[in-house]
Amino acid sequence: MANAQQTIFEKTNGRETATYFEVIDYYTSLAKKSDIIKLETKGLTDSGYPLHLILISNDKQFDPEVWHKLNKIVLMINNGIHPGEPDGIDASMMLVRDIINKKVSLPDNVVIGLIPVYNIGGALNRSGFSRVNQEGPLEYGFRGNAQNRDLNRDFTKNDTKNAQSFAEIFHYLNPDVLVDTHVSDGADYQHTMTLITTQYNKQGPLLGAWVKKTYEPALYQGMKNKNHDMVHYVNVDGTDPSVGFNQFNDAPRYSSGYAALFNTISFMPETHMLKPYKARTESTYDLLITLIETNARFAKELKEIRKKAIENTIRQQEFPLSWKLDPNQFTNITFKGYEPGIRISKVTGLPILYYDHSKPFTKQVKFFDVYNAQNIVNRPKAYVIPQGWWKVIDILSLNKVKMKRLENDSVIEVTSFRIENLKSMPNSYEGHHKNTKVEGSWTKEKIQFLKGDYLIDVNQESNRYIVEMLEPMGDDSFLSWNFFDGIMQAKEYYSDYRWEPVAEKFLEENPALRAELEKKKKENSEFANSSSAQLNFVFINSPWYEPTHKRYPVFRIEQ
């Protein structure tokens, strides 16, 4: 290998990682030397720099639509979402070089779309101190992007230009398999490479079962053949993994959970932070090769199963909005760890957990890998969204959701949802306050919509994304990310002295409401002793109460 093609990682014997500009210069040089790769620029990021996309294909064909027509497996690799975890950045540089130099075989039925550095702003914010839990490299980027957002929480809310540009690339590639490279944090153990596979049940009964039975075991065997003892992601934090652990429940905010909404098989390798950087990067390199090999081996089967999964999504009638771990179902896996212990801290003088490297162990542990569907909803025929909610419309459009606009003002019978209660996070989380525990009531009513409002038929490949984002109780829905907070505040109010005589006359004309008021007073002494509560009760049951207050502005047209 020519010395000029050595990476910074190799020149420093695994002690350093390339800077963002060194990465781009390296790929630019490779693209000039080989006609099987193409370097493209896509949308901007918050840093002001565009995302780059590396396309690799033996037949020198760089159109993803053509790739799919030729039944090639499209492998998408995303690196540097957390630039303090740069293993994939350096591993991919070596991989692409070795492919063009024929050191690594890229089968004709596999093509690659690779983002060399996703979080450019974080990559530019380099130091050697932001990852105190991590063993090397000497300097690296920062977890937050140019807006200080964690990009691996932004795939559904799309606050950042990075996420918006990623969505463009993702749908441009329509990958069969996505791998998003990371470094772990948490417990200590012997394994260098751990792997998050998108939770099987979320992938659906066809695709998820096939991944668990066929594809994933081939990955593990492929890594074993390369002398890597890969294990499932150790989903514990500072406790004893030998008692067993759960498969990671990757919500749609994460890259793998987001990709699953579009029937893309997704993996998140998490190398162990306390292993030397050289070993971590080499294991990532070998995993990428193993993914290529596995894709080639199962290309025909994978294409057929994914096609059927997409067809099933179009026909699917019921959609779960959340998932709950089944504590009674598990798989036994081999885990190599260290005995945990308690010692007295020399800093605090108090007991603290540690892992005793003089006491390694190999045990069979329980891996809880079954989640049961919760909060299941029937799909509607369509959703209607007033055009005023353009931020939501823009994100739906970005994700290739097919929408129509009403050609005329129209009265439509819909099912509407009125929010009666929800719990909002008191503190900011990734620039939002998350809404949870949403409660409310559904009502059939006829509502006036305007010309230009949006109609979304639920008969398309993105059905899962549509339902999970638009249903008010979805774990990572637009409501959960407080996109609709404007409806939670009433815009018109009254003065008690002015409303009281109007309310008196209204009750005289509506004896049923008067009876309901009296009943509530008898049942609730606090209500009976509150003039304002009683006046408000009458108000919200009167025509003067604004109908949009707490009415969720996404409406269902039922089947």
Tokens of 327: 């504590």
What digits encode the pLDDT tens for the residues 348-392? Answer: 999 999 999 999 999 999 999 999 999 999 999 999 999 999 999
Comparing CA positions, the residue from 498, 474, 493 lying closest to residue 484 is 474
Q: What is the pLDDT of residue 186?
A: 87
Q: What is the pLDDT of residue 242?
A: 87
In the structure, what pLDDT confidence band is assigned to residue 160 with cuts at 50, 70 and 90?
very high
Alpha helices in 47-191 (DSSP H): 64-69, 87-100, 120-124, 161-173
Q: What percent of the chain has pLDDT over 90?
A: 97
Region 162-183: what's the mean pLDDT? 98
Q: What are phi and psi of 446, to 5 degrees?
A: -100, 125
* pLDDT exceeds 60 at position 2: no
Beta carbons of 541 and 475 less than 8 angstroms apart:
no
State how far the alpha carbon of 216 is from the alpha carbons of 72, 133, 192, 298, 462, in Å.
19, 29, 18, 11, 25
Q: What is the pLDDT of residue 239?
A: 79
Region 291-319: what's the mean pLDDT? 98
* pLDDT exceeds 90 at position 180: yes
Q: What is the pLDDT of residue 465?
A: 98
Q: What is the pLDDT of residue 1?
A: 44
Region 24-39: what's the mean pLDDT? 97
Collapsing DSSP to helix, strand or coil, 382 comes out as strand
Better pLDDT: 240 or 279: 279
Q: What is the pLDDT of residue 201?
A: 96
Dist CA 530 CA 497 (whole Å):
15
> Which is it for strands 37-44 and 50-56: parallel, antiparallel or unpaired?
antiparallel
Region 468-485: what's the mean pLDDT? 96
What digits encode the pLDDT tens for the residues 338-349? Answer: 999 999 999 999
What are the DSSP E strand ranges found in 301-434? 318-325, 331-344, 351-368, 371-378, 382-385, 404-405, 410-424
